[in-house]
Structure 1
Amino acid sequence: MKIKLLVALGFLSIVCFGFPPKEYSKKVQTVLSRHTVIYDKVPTRIPSRVAVDAPLLGNGYTAIALSGNPEKQIFRVARNDFWRFKSALDESYPTVLGKIILNVPQLEGASYQAIQDLFTATTTVTLSKGKTKLVYKAYVSAVDDVLVVEMTLQGDSSIEATVNLELPGADEIVNQPPLERVFPDEKGIKTEKEIETLWRGFEKDVDQKTIASIALRILQQNRNGKITLKPNQTVRFVCAFSSNFKSEDCVKSVNSKVSAISEKETKTIQAKHQNWWKTYWEKSFVDIQQFPEIEKQYYISLYGLASCSRDKDFPPSIFGSWITKERPDWNGDYHLNYNHEAPYYGLYSSNRIEQADPYYAPLLAIIPQGNLFSEKITGIKDGILLPVGIGPLNTDTVHQSPFLEQYFASWINNQTVEGGSCFWGQKSNAAYATVDISMQFYHTWDRAFTEKVYPFVFGVAKFWSEYLKFEDGRYVIYNDAIHEGTNGTKNPILSLGLVPMVMKTAIDMSTLLGKNEQERAKWQDIINKMSTYTFQEKNNKTVFRYSEKGTDWWDGNTLGIQHIYPAGQIGIYSDPKLLEISKNTIEVMGDRWFDSNGSNSFFPAAVRIGYDPEIILEKMKQYCLDMYPNGFRRGNPHGIENWSTVPNTINEMLCTGHQDVVRVFEGWNKKEDAEFGNIRVEGAFLVSSKLIKGEVQTVTIVSEQGRPLAFLNPWKAKKVSIKSNGKTQILSGEFIKMNTEKGVVYTINCVL
């Protein structure tokens, strides 16, 4: 990219914000108020081994899915840290903890409606039959690991109800041997002093003992779980949750917690809960109210991710934290050939780093195993090579075992199993896993984060720097696979995108930390001399070939454009010929906007290359109309990976820092008004702006780390004023470059 840049220096000594706090807070609440989530019928896709259609509650540690008929409401409970841990195929997975059952026999045949208020993260369920109406409000506290449910009866007469705990049963446990086995567990329920406690755990034939627990207490009228609901009176019950990873004795811990909760304390819990969510929503916002379906899915997605991703040691699985049936599909593991990475794509630009932080914990934990695979399979010492699936705590979820050898021998015969685990021929899993680490690094430039994750990035860079073959002046990839099982592929296009991304990230991280300077020249040489993409003709258009030798095309999925996104190797300032081929490929791939795997990469890839924003928005509207109320895609077996699609794409359209240039509304349809606040872009900048009738208003940029800033003048070559610390600079030009200071705000306006 050849850009003539003007240099401006800004000197500030105070920290301020892009919007006055009260105005910003009011704006966020106004936008969220447009989008309540309504369920007009009882969920039917639950329990399920895949994504459910139920109202979802959670705090990133404990998750609850609401289900059941009006007379028997079922709160299905799971936890991020409640797994069966065993490094063997089909023996490690997130598990079901238990159920909370609200029985109200007199409401059989009642109508059902659930309404979720996103701003307060509160779900209100109304059950109506004749003149009797039971309304209960429920939330899983974002601060205290407890569920609070308050029930109010409307009508002329009292009704009887019970609230009890229940262990997983035939509906939740899959028992279809020999392929679907049930493993021994330890479990029980007891009642003491009006507190009912449930526990479940795995201790036999596992790599790591686990146990989790629920304690239930009704705050009024408790008679062994029996309640008399009287008209216009409110009755509350509370549940506490924990595991052996959070407390030494989780059964004792949850009992102590619920016994200490009083009526008065529930008000404090609610206030803290709502304040956490208020703070969460104020991290950033977008206002695109002329696209209500898209805007709603944007915020439902962010609600879902906040509800399932906060435990820094145990990120959510493929289906989030809502495990409603034992042994979910794909064992609910962290699939590294995109499923584990995709849910987090939109969190970095949405400025929700706390929800993204859990992502990398299992990667750091499995480094020793990755080193072993690298040396055993390729002879590369200290490199990192990973199989297709992993779990928390150094768990290999696709490890070779007698079970695999007996029932999946074809995997071994077809060489999809290497070194004792399943790779499906793909050498790219660890490189793919670096994508999110790279995104968080460039969006934050956080040194502490970089220190934590650098060993993983270094190991992946080490593997590829020795695995690549240097031939005829270029680096070549042999014996890789573009799609699962396409063994032996030469130069698969995904790896051609991922490897330079890994090398650049390694260079910048090592420079920031002052480590491994001697390695940087090799890493840079790989970037400079990596094999180029290969092409082919389809539908009279030149498009990318999936590999130089081997698989040329695929009728599903979106691997043909993932070198664009998430690998990030092509953008608006790339070679015009590459951009043309990229657009051709998007067109020839057809309706993969709605691909069951790859929508989360297809939409942002289209934005990155400057594809027509009107088409992108129209396709996204169709995409959003095909959702369950909770934001999961209808008919799609996958889960939270689809929650990145809308936030990530919309943020990228409104504001991006890709290729080290901050651009506002360049990917947006300028005919449509829009506003955003605190979108985070590469370089650790928080950007806010507004578009009215095609005209960009004030642009506010917060420099979080004081890094150099380059931005595209949104008013073309007109003069701009840059205000900071009471000083103003007047500059002009299409592109402007300036040094910034840490914690300083720069306010940019067009000079008429």
Structure 2
Amino acid sequence: MKTLTFLLAIMLFCITCFAQQNDNIFSSFERAKLHPLTFDKPAIDFFEGALLGNGAMGAVVTTRPDGIMIYFGHNNVWDIRLAEDNKEALGTFEYVFNKVKAIPDTLRLLTDDPWYSKYSKMAAENYRKPYPRPFPCGSVLLGFDRRNAEMLGHKLDISNGLCEVYLLTNEKEKITLQIFTDMLQDKLWMQLVDKNGKLCESIFDRVKVMPDPSTPKEFPQYTTQEDLEKGLIAFRQVMPYQEPEDYNLEKGHHNDKAFSLTVQFNSSLEKTNRIDWNGNLQEMALMEGSFVNKNNFIGCILLTEGLNSKVPKMSAVDNLPSQSALKKSFENGTKIWKEYWNKSGVSLSDSFLERTWYHNLYFFNCAVKKGVSTPGLFANWSFNDIGTAWHGDYHMNYNTQQPFWLPFSTNHLEKNLSYVELIEFLMDVSQKWAKEYYNLPGAYFPHSAYPVDMTMNPYPVPHWGWEIFETPWAVQGLWWHYLYSKDIDFLRDRAYFPIKAAVEFLVAYMKRPEARGEQWKDNNYHVFPAIPPELYALRPGFKYNYDCTMDLTLTKFIFKAFRNATTDLGIQDEEKDLLADIEDILNNFPDYPTAITPDNKEVLVSVPEEHSQVVYNVPNALATVFPGEDYGLHSDQETMNLLKNTFSNRQNEGGNDIVFYNLQAARIGLLDLERFKRQINYSLMPNGTASDRVMQVHGRYRDQTNYGFMDRMGVWFENFALPVVINECLMQSYNGTIRLFPNWPLDKDAEFHNLRAVGAFLVSASLKDSKVSEIEIFSEAGSTLKLVLPWENCTMKNSKGKTILKSKLVKISTQKGETLKFEAK
């Protein structure tokens, strides 16, 4: 019988032969194989373990000297209880605004005012509850006697998600436990093989299934199931819909959810006993058993989740886990992984950056899948309190958006559908909040949100809940999806309505009497009040609370996107009134705020009246570059000088900048790749993911701050976007013009294929010996191609033949489905 090891060798041989037949093609699947994640000793800590996942279910495989522990989580499994108290006491925006306006501007902080202090505490009461949050799905231990085997370490093959745990028997034989997740079902498979890849005698003497220790005492008691003859152990946990004071433990609620974790082996189980440390006989407890058959070892772990009424009360068993079923699952999964990898790829002379690219694309695929809940801050890996900080929720002031910067240039638009589904889910509560709290049309997207039923803004505290820029930022990814796909049906059916709702709110907000008039001493429409991300909060006298750079640039972005959307959909006449309001505002739009540095240079800052030496958390100063995309390499020289001055002057405290900060730098061609690599290395966890780590003081942090205090909060989903920084060094297209290697050293060889560009172009190019060789561009939608060529003269080949081009900037009409090749003449 063929084993996983043998199958893998055959597949890799075929891939290598194919690659050798065509020198212009490299397989990303093959490149990924070159970058395994290895650990050469027991990985006892959660953050040392191998991360597995299928986009819905996540698993962390840890090892210890006497066993293997696997922790389970799932994007759909949450503590879904939600507090929505104080609805009436919150009042309306107008009520709170007038109260704040009356507070003397001589106070140091708004919370020094008794009314506001009391109000803000009341408004935060719901968020201070420990729920909602991701809920861990339990763990499974496979134990062995150290007298029989020694734990050596593990290796994770990111090309196909196969984790191999290495053990050494007393006979000095190396044996391997192979573990992988099914990519179509929420299952984890495992088998124990010898050095030849054949099933071997099992060294495991017990299995133990454990519900998560953080399970609240007020939850219904989990139920268990044991069928020792069939090698099965399971538990089932109900997730209450209501808060404890409202929940009836006996009757439950029709919206309750549940999950079950079922472990089954190809061997019967039995209860055994041992003498404990005190000399007493200790029998195996519930959900623990010993293996009867030691001839071979195959196991399967199934995670089932959904409404309580839909999750079976008992686990049904049709067949014992078999090698044929395991083999089929692995073959299907390998095919899915291969399709995933070969959508795009990079081959870089810089092995660290190439490894970073492939590792984070692997993690991203493990964590995201359309049709299940969009991952929160820490995705689908959790245990105990790991993954619960800030409720593990959706923070709409960068955290939620950042990982979904990745799908566009990497040509994984299918992954962005998870984000689209989140925005669609949030539409009801966002429209309701705009209407009932602001008394304005459209939609106001909340600062924080959860994948649970919500009827109000979960975090209505003004000092962060009034971040206006979060509304255009929330829908930006929908417009990008259209720009990079040119899918007019997507624009019409899924993107247009949320974008229009955001625009309606922003127009109405900027046209309020408080946002324009004589008090401003100009004729502009202002974003007021407003709060820069992660900075100042709401201030007495509204100092630093208007025309924030992030508000201005994202509002301008989404206004222009809406205008272009109506043109592409041919509905300008239907939307003429809203379009007229947009033009009026854009013609009377505030300037981006600037300040003068101590060495007399003008720089961009986050908000008017701010000095030039502020230490930011979110890199606000260059928001016009990204996410605003108003400035960049296309800008005039005066603007580029402003951007360069701002870049050299800015300070960021860390925590929220490993992707964001460096992406901005790449967009203007100023990213120091060696420094970028050092920051990644500084932030790396043992499992290969990048943590959010502090970089400096003088912002929120102090000299005695633990610079790694966020390391153990969870696996930071947002930092899986690291490959997009590398992509922007290799190819940029944000304004519709493709630029090749704009931030890549010419003396470092690099090759990429099928990076996706605005206009639905798939771009491939290589840089070798300091020269760009052949460029290949596939036109998916037949858009007009705008390209900056690296040569003065070149030959273009397409379906019509050859054309000589004598300009670096070319504009070419393309046909849907055609390929264009460019070579130096």
TM-score, normalised to structure 2, is 0.78
Q: Which residue of 1 aligns with 2:681?
A: 624
Q: Which residue of 2 aligns with 1:125?
A: 165
User: What does residue range 50-89 of structure 1 map to in structure 2 within 5 Å?
Assistant: 52-88=47-83, 89=127
Q: Which residue of 1 aligns with 2:333?
A: 273
SS at match of 1:354: helix
SS at match of 1:559: coil
- The residue type paired with residue 330 of structure 2 is Q
1:264 is displaced (CA, Å) by 1.3
For residues 236-271 of structure 1, give each alpha carbon's deviation from its aligned partner in whole angstroms, at most 9, with x where no partner exists. 1012222126x9733369635x73753212111110
SS at match of 2:190: strand
Change (3 A) 1:437 1:70: farther
1:549 is displaced (CA, Å) by 4.2
Is 1:556 matched with 2:551? no
SS at match of 1:96: coil
Name the stretch that deviates more: 450-459 or 683-692.
Answer: 450-459
1:280 is displaced (CA, Å) by 0.7
SS at match of 1:564: coil
- The residue type paired with residue 725 of structure 1 is S
1:703 is displaced (CA, Å) by 1.1
Change (3 A) 1:87 1:576: farther
1:512 is displaced (CA, Å) by 3.0
Q: Could you tell me which of 440, 445, 454 is aligned with 1:386?
A: 445
Conserved in 2, the CA contact under 8 Å of 1:139 and 1:149? yes
Is 1:359 matched with 2:401? no
Change (3 A) 1:221 1:209: closer
Change (3 A) 1:564 1:261: same
1:55 is displaced (CA, Å) by 1.2
User: What does residue range 183-582 of structure 1 map to in structure 2 within 5 Å?
Assistant: 183-192=218-227, 193-205=230-242, 208-223=255-270, 225-227=289-291, 234-244=296-306, 249-251=310-312, 255=316, 259=319, 261-288=321-348, 290-326=349-385, 328-381=388-441, 383-395=442-454, 399=458, 417-418=461-462, 423-450=464-491, 451-468=493-510, 469-470=515-516, 472-484=522-534, 486-487=537-538, 488=542, 489-515=545-571, 516-518=574-576, 519-540=578-599, 541-549=601-609, 554-557=614-617, 558-582=619-643
Is 1:736 matched with 2:799? no
CA distance in 1, matches of 2:403, 2:417: 12
User: What does residue range 116-155 of structure 1 map to in structure 2 within 5 Å?
Assistant: 116-128=156-168, 130-131=170-171, 133-152=174-193
For residues 473-508 of structure 1, give each alpha carbon's deviation from its aligned partner in whole angstroms, at most 9, with x where no partner exists. 433111110034522311111111111111122223
- The residue type paired with residue 117 of structure 1 is D
- The residue type paired with residue 689 of structure 2 is F
CA distance in 2, matches of 1:480, 1:355: 32
- The residue type paired with residue 407 of structure 2 is L
Conserved in 2, the CA contact under 8 Å of 1:70 and 1:107? no
Conserved in 1, the CA contact under 8 Å of 2:749 and 2:768? yes
Name the stretch that deviates more: 202-211 or 684-693.
Answer: 202-211
User: What does residue range 586-601 of structure 1 map to in structure 2 within 5 Å?
Assistant: 586-590=647-651, 592=652, 595-601=654-660
Higher radius of gyration, 1 or 2:
2
SS at match of 1:491: coil
Change (3 A) 1:157 1:677: closer
Conserved in 1, the CA contact under 8 Å of 2:53 and 2:181? yes
For residues 433-492 of structure 1, give each alpha carbon's deviation from its aligned partner in whole angstroms, at most 9, with x where no partner exists. 123223222111223432213221111111111111355343311111003452231111
SS at match of 1:65: strand
Conserved in 1, the CA contact under 8 Å of 2:443 and 2:501? yes
For residues 113-157 of structure 1, give each alpha carbon's deviation from its aligned partner in whole angstroms, at most 9, with x where no partner exists. 111111121111113365455421111111232111112368999
Q: Percent identity?
A: 20
For residues 293-322 of structure 1, give each alpha carbon's deviation from its aligned partner in whole angstroms, at most 9, with x where no partner exists. 221111110000000101434011111110
- The residue type paired with residue 162 of structure 1 is R
Conserved in 2, the CA contact under 8 Å of 1:65 and 1:75? yes
Change (3 A) 1:248 1:44: same
TM-score, normalised to structure 1, is 0.85
Conserved in 2, the CA contact under 8 Å of 1:159 and 1:228? no
Name the stretch that deviates more: 496-505 or 544-553.
Answer: 544-553
**Would you say how many aligned residue pairs link Structure 1 and Structure 2?**
689
Runs of 4+ in 1 over 4 A off after TM superposition: 19-26, 153-158, 221-225, 549-553
CA distance in 1, matches of 2:503, 2:556: 9
Cα-Cα RMSD:
2.9
Conserved in 2, the CA contact under 8 Å of 1:724 and 1:747? yes
Change (3 A) 1:601 1:183: farther
For residues 709-740 of structure 1, give each alpha carbon's deviation from its aligned partner in whole angstroms, at most 9, with x where no partner exists. 1111221x21x222222622222212111111
- Higher-RCO chain (CA-CA 8 Å, sequence separation at least 6): 1
- The residue type paired with residue 604 of structure 2 is F
Q: Which residue of 1 aligns with 2:727?
A: 651
1:605 is displaced (CA, Å) by 0.6
| Structure 1 gaps, min length 5 | 1-18, 47-51, 174-180, 401-415
Name the stretch that deviates more: 694-703 or 468-477.
Answer: 468-477
CA distance in 2, matches of 1:627, 1:98: 26
1:86 is displaced (CA, Å) by 3.1
CA distance in 2, matches of 1:68, 1:662: 47
Conserved in 2, the CA contact under 8 Å of 1:160 and 1:229? no
1:227 is displaced (CA, Å) by 2.5
SS at match of 1:526: helix
Conserved in 1, the CA contact under 8 Å of 2:148 and 2:203? no
- The residue type paired with residue 305 of structure 1 is F
CA distance in 1, matches of 2:316, 2:597: 65
| Structure 2 gaps, min length 5 | 1-18, 84-126, 244-252, 272-288, 692-707
CA distance in 1, matches of 2:184, 2:506: 42
- The residue type paired with residue 728 of structure 2 is E
Change (3 A) 1:530 1:452: same
Q: Which residue of 2 aligns with 1:103?
A: 143
- The residue type paired with residue 38 of structure 1 is T
CA distance in 1, matches of 2:559, 2:613: 27
1:666 is displaced (CA, Å) by 2.3
Change (3 A) 1:98 1:22: farther
Q: Could you tell me which of 194, 211, 214 is aligned with 1:167?
A: 211
Conserved in 2, the CA contact under 8 Å of 1:707 and 1:742? yes
CA distance in 2, matches of 1:742, 1:584: 42
- The residue type paired with residue 385 of structure 1 is Y
CA distance in 2, matches of 1:328, 1:144: 25
